[in-house]
Amino acid sequence: MDQAMFPVTRQFDAALEIVGKLRAAGYEAYFAGGCVRDLLLGREPKDFDVATSAEPDVVLGMFERTFAVGAQFGVVLVATCGGADAPCGAEEQSERPEYVVTEVATFRSDGAYSDGRHPDGVRYTKSAEEDVRRRDFTINGLLLDAVALFPQGLKPAAHLAGSIGPAEAVPLLQDQLQHGPAEAVPLLQDQLQHGPAEAVPLLQDQLQHGLAELAGLDEKQPQILRLTTPRLKSTPGAPFAQDDKHFSTAQILRLTTPRLKSTPEAPFAQDDKHFSTAQDDSPLRAAVIDFVGGVGDLEAGVVRAIGRAEARFEEDRLRMLRAVRFAARFGFAIEEETKRAIRALAGRIDSVSKERVRDELTKMLTEGHARRAFELLDETGLLAEVLPEVARMKGVEQPPQYHPEGDVWVHTLGLLGQLEEGCSATLAWGALLHDVGKPPTFRRAPDRIRFDGHVEVGVAMGAEICRGFRFSNEETRQILALIENHMRFAMADRMRASTLKRFFRMEGFEEHLALHKMDCVAGSGNLDHWEFVRERWQAMPEETLRPKPLITGRELIAAGYKPGAGFKEMLRAVEDAQLEGAIGSEEEAMRWVRERFPLVEG
């Protein structure tokens, strides 16, 4: 196992440095939790947490910059440079790299959880297993022994750059290629025959042109995945030179294997919906410490509570929502006993702060698997507890001529299924709540099903939901604007020019466009209104959309008008005329004002 197999990030370097220092001082220290899970799934962890037998006072004294933010629960934040070449500097030296902050937690055993979130007391332990068994889910209860991975010593990956020269580059690449698919090796090795100077650029070019072209691999065979390294800067004088934007040859390739789904017909068929887990005989797998069956649950695609599920959820009831989120994110099932416990305890989720619930729901909505997350919320009984207004959408019929897909719940799920990973929280919540006013306004009219005033009712309900979840004022304004305006697209082709331009000027208009498109796709599929608005919005120059005002209050005062509330009405009317193209100069604007707002004598 070479360090180059790991993410080349300062977060990884920082955690590895901390583990090395703790181990050198005689303490146990491991990567812990989600980072181990993600490494086994072939995903790049966002951060690396460390679990150790060293108590908080030891950690606080061992590292130069620490923050005892959760020391009462055994948690210390450690700030290091994370393998940066330059020292991390003071605020006034902005060119220096920022510190990397790593969470370091002492092995502990928790007491009772009276408040459903925090342990009444903690007891530090020297047992890694005891620490793991207090955690939430088996897939998050894994430890990684970095010493077992790097027996030659813990050396941060970023430091490799200075130790690899041209002479070592090609043999190192060839050695890495031996871990890859047999079909790819000859092709890549053939490129290496061009010599050190040309090898790296050629390999980079090959890799950037796509995996299939590179190796000519069949879809069911192992592939080379994810080239995450920037290009090397190669010159005749310095064929492997680096600058601050480039990495060493040792970091070019990371060869992994897609998750293989074994069946009698295709013993190594690839499942495109999953990432790989480390093979049984891989150094990564061998370095994993698994006290709770987490590796097996990763292979089986299962979210399972550690130990007795009811006890884990009573400790922190937010874990019920986290179970749903992890299952949706990874395409996993919730293990039956774990799901049964969630159903039994769903009513107690109200003891969790609204902010924590909001943040968990927002993650579900913005991680790219919102539909599955909300289906699971419904299946577990959590939806009716955290968002009863959304749960009431189920079974509310819609006019089939406009909504052939089904009821309001099915329609809303159709929008959630289109939310992309990384979408804005306001767009996601707008999609979820855009039709929240339909259930209370449902009526069966003689001609068809109608929802009279559902937009206005929806805005009021949305405001209450946002207030309850303590959204910021800015977020609330945008979510409510999305609800309030989602039906206006149908009228766009009949709007006056000034009205249409003001419509386009709404803050975050691209989110309004995105919501309307999702609304159409999840319903009738007719995109005529969306295309009309999009084409005109994109074609309209900024100076036409937001022209410089022709007059201000100063010109009105100079013309003899008395300042007051009427100025706002007058200036808006002038701007409307300007947007309509009826006036185009200060002189025309003042003449227009005098005709419509004549001065009153005396």
pLDDT digits (tens, 9 = 90+) for 499-522: 999 999 999 999 999 999 999 999
Residue 465 in tokens? 């939901």
Confidence at residue 250, expressed as pLDDT on a 0 to 100 scale = 29
> Which residue is listed with tokens 């901390």?
18
CA separation for the pair 75, 59 (Å, rounded): 9
**DSSP letters of 73-141?**
GTEEEEEE-TT-SSPP--TT-TTSPPPEEEEEEE-EEE---TTSSS-S-EEE-S-HHHHHTTSSBGGG-
Q: Is 73 a residue whose pLDDT tops 60? A: yes
Q: Is 197 a residue whose pLDDT tops 70? A: no
Residue 593 in tokens? 């004002």
Residue 243 in tokens? 């600058």
Structurally, at CATH architecture level, domain 403-546 sits in Orthogonal Bundle (1.10)
Contact indicator for 53, 40 with CB cutoff of 8 Å: no
Contact indicator for 485, 502 with CB cutoff of 8 Å: no
Q: Is 455 a residue whose pLDDT tops 60? A: yes
Confidence at residue 268, expressed as pLDDT on a 0 to 100 scale = 29
Any bridge partners for residue 102, and if so which?
Answer: 78
pLDDT, tens digit, for every residue of 563-592?
999 999 999 999 999 999 999 999 999 999
Mean pLDDT of the 383-402 span? 96
DSSP-derived 3-state class of residue 334: strand
Mean pLDDT of the 275-283 span? 56
Q: Are strands 269-270 and 333-334 parallel, antiparallel or unpaired?
A: unpaired
DSSP-derived 3-state class of residue 386: helix
- Domain boundaries of the chain, sorted by first residue: 3-158, 165-247, 301-386, 403-546, 553-596
For the chain, the residue count is 602
Confidence at residue 123, expressed as pLDDT on a 0 to 100 scale = 87
> Which residue is listed with tokens 């053939």?
190
CA separation for the pair 36, 320 (Å, rounded): 21
Residue 518 C-alpha from the chain's centroid: 19
Burial environment of residue 368 by CB neighbours within 10 A (0 to 12, 13 to 18, 19 or more): middle
Q: Is 259 a residue whose pLDDT tops 80? A: no
Q: Is 116 a residue whose pLDDT tops 70? A: no
Residue 48 C-alpha from the chain's centroid: 17
What percent of the chain has pLDDT above 90?
67
Q: Which one, of 467, 482, 375, lies nearest residue 425 by Cα?
A: 482
Better pLDDT: 110 or 424: 424
- Angle, CA 269 vertex, CA 265 and CA 275 arms, to 5°: 150
How far the first Cα of the chain sits from its last, in Å, is 92
Contact indicator for 54, 62 with CB cutoff of 8 Å: yes
CA separation for the pair 358, 37 (Å, rounded): 25
* Structure letter (DSSP) for residue 584: -
Q: Is 192 a residue whose pLDDT tops 70? A: no
Q: In this predicted structure, which of 171-180, 487-496, 520-529 has the lowest mean pLDDT?
A: 171-180
What is the CATH T-level fold of the domain 3-158, as seen in this structure? Beta Polymerase; domain 2 (3.30.460)
Any bridge partners for residue 123, and if so which?
Answer: 109
Q: Which residue type, as a one-letter code, is found at position 151?
A: P
Mean pLDDT of the 42-59 span? 94
Better pLDDT: 311 or 240: 311
Confidence of residue 155 (pLDDT cuts 50, 70, 90): low
Q: Is 8 a residue whose pLDDT tops 50? A: yes
Q: pTM for this structure?
A: 0.77
Confidence at residue 211, expressed as pLDDT on a 0 to 100 scale = 37
Other Cβ atoms closer than 10 A to 545: 15
Confidence at residue 89, expressed as pLDDT on a 0 to 100 scale = 61
Q: Is 552 a residue whose pLDDT tops 90? A: yes
Residue 459 in tokens? 């805005």
> Which residue is listed with tokens 């193209």?
581
Q: Are strands 122-124 and 333-334 parallel, antiparallel or unpaired?
A: unpaired
For 303, the enclosing helix (H) or strand (E) is strand 302-303
Q: Is 465 a residue whose pLDDT tops 90? A: yes
Better pLDDT: 95 or 19: 19
Burial 292-326 (b: 16+ CB within 10 A, else e): bbbbebbeebbbbbbeebbebbbbbbbbbbbbbbb
CA separation for the pair 241, 69 (Å, rounded): 42
Q: Is 272 a residue whose pLDDT tops 50? A: no
Mean pLDDT of the 553-561 span? 95
CATH no. for 301-386: 1.10.110.30
Confidence at residue 222, expressed as pLDDT on a 0 to 100 scale = 31
pLDDT, tens digit, for every residue of 347-361?
999 999 999 999 999
DSSP-derived 3-state class of residue 555: helix
Q: Is 400 a residue whose pLDDT tops 80? A: yes
For the chain, the average pLDDT equals 81
Q: Is 230 a residue whose pLDDT tops 50? A: no
CA separation for the pair 365, 428 (Å, rounded): 6
Mean pLDDT of the 165-188 span? 43
CA separation for the pair 600, 298 (Å, rounded): 80
CA separation for the pair 131, 126 (Å, rounded): 9
Better pLDDT: 386 or 150: 386
